[in-house]
Amino acid sequence: MTTNTLLQSENFSLRQQLEAFLHEARQNEDKMRRFDQLERKLIGASSLLELVHLLLTEYRLAFGIEFVTLALVDKDYESTRILESAHGSDAGLSGLTLLQSPVPLEIRYGNARHPCLGAFNSEQHQGIFNAPEGAISSVALLPLARHGELIGSLNFGSANPDRYVQGCGTDFLERLAEVVAICIESALAQERLKLIGLTDVLTGVQNRRYFEHRCHVEISQARRYKHPLACMFLDIDKFKRINDTYGHPSGDEVLKSVALAIQSQLRSGDTIARYGGEEFVALLPQAELHHAQQIAERIRCSIAEKDLRALDGQTIRLTISIGLSMLPVEDMVGEDQQLADRLVAAADKALYEAKHRGRNQVVCDGSQPSGPARSTPWRRLHGLFSS
């Protein structure tokens, strides 16, 4: 082979290498552009729900990954409550797993805090992705850590066996894991701040603002799935007399005790809020009328049986009146706000019927008194959602 031929061969080989380097550089530049766009969205996410959606949906679409899953440590069910509140009572997000303990992640990653890349192993990875057989060939598992503790794992599964190969550089994935972990921590902090603004400081239950939001969520879910929805208005009987007799500090203790008693009788998916003063309101999704009546009666009995001590040692006897209404499953005509107004107004009307009948009882909207009743013009509507 002549010198000229050798030079041409070397030149061709160098051109091929250069083109490969340029192609890889362009790919990396495009990857970084897409990552930068996604990173901005992650940082700008206004809620934990939006952040989870970005990770499970937009990342998969932006980078052409067949499977993306996310596991978050949720020891105190904080994320569960936040996502249920934002997404409704059927807050199942495909690809999201909430773990009660970090142990499964600690077993998976050990002391390492670096992405794990390699071939798909059915025994090790099937539970992470729950993918059809043969759909995944390579995986990348990214530990999400803050302050040295594992808070989750972001997992990618690809049909391409060369997409994630053990020993490949992981700088990009490590950067992604750091950004995601910070965003999750930030989103939870934001949600806690929101929660402070949606919680009644004295009793620790939700406040009216939260109830208004939750009412719309539950009505939307009831419309969609044709589920029953019950609403209860609860009012402590003769609360002013309690304050006047035993003092406002004792009255505050009564409010705390009643809130706790109501909450103890509700189910995990129910909502309780302090509506104002001595009034509470509750939403019971997927509760038929007879079931809602049973819950209301249990609340009434538990409070009637309470003996509280005032600060001066005197015994405080309590009773509560409850008005109950149901969202009409077969006749949900109107906007969500109109339905919310009618639902709450009906419970309010039933509450004041309970007061008129003598207090310390449960009255269902539309029910007839068991004995002779006097007509009364005494009716007050709160004008829910009007402001």
Which residues are the active-site residues?
278
Rounded CA-CA distance 238/236 in Å is 6
Residue type, 97: T
Point out which residues pair with 324 in neighbouring strands: 232, 364
CA 165/CA 160 separation, integer angstroms: 10
358: number of CA atoms within 13 Å, CB side? 6
DSSP string spanning 178-213? Answer: HHHHHHHHHHHHHHHHHHHHTB-TTT-SEEHHHHHH
167: left (phi over 0), alpha (psi -120 to 50) or beta: left
Distance, in Å, from the CA atom of 164 to the CA atom of 180, rounded to the nearest integer, reads 19
Residue 20 amino acid letter: A
Query: Residue 154 burial by CB count (10 A; 0-12/13-18/19+): exposed, middle or buried?
Result: buried
